[in-house]
Amino acid sequence: MAPQPKKVAIDQTAQAIVFGYHRFVNQVHRPDTEITPQAFEQQMQELKNRGITVIARFLGVETR
């Protein structure tokens, strides 16, 4: 008989901030939906510098 899976504790008070961009571009024409790769890296570094956990691996982006 297979072992029963462990119950996962879910924190119902957890919060997340989501940054969403439509496109990464070298020249921004629509700042409401576009960002340069350099500006994105700066934003992610600033979050890291402030101790905010960044989850970016699913995007194919490695955080340093």
State how far the alpha carbon of 15 is from the alpha carbons of 45, 48, 52, in Å.
Answer: 20, 17, 12
Q: Tell me the average pLDDT of the chain.
A: 84
Digit-coded pLDDT (tens) for 21-37: 888 999 999 999 999 99
How open is the CA angle 59-27-62, to the nearest 5 degrees? 20
Tokens for 5, please give them: 């899976």
Q: Is the pLDDT of residue 50 over 90?
A: yes
By percentage, how much of the chain surpasses pLDDT 90?
30
- Angle among Cα 48, 50, 51 to the nearest 5 degrees reads 65
Is the model's pLDDT at 56 over the cut of 90? no
Residue 28's contacts (CB-CB under 8 Å, 6 or more residues apart) are 34, 35, 36
pLDDT at 5 exceeding the cut of 70: yes
Residue 47 · residue 56 · CB < 8 Å:
no
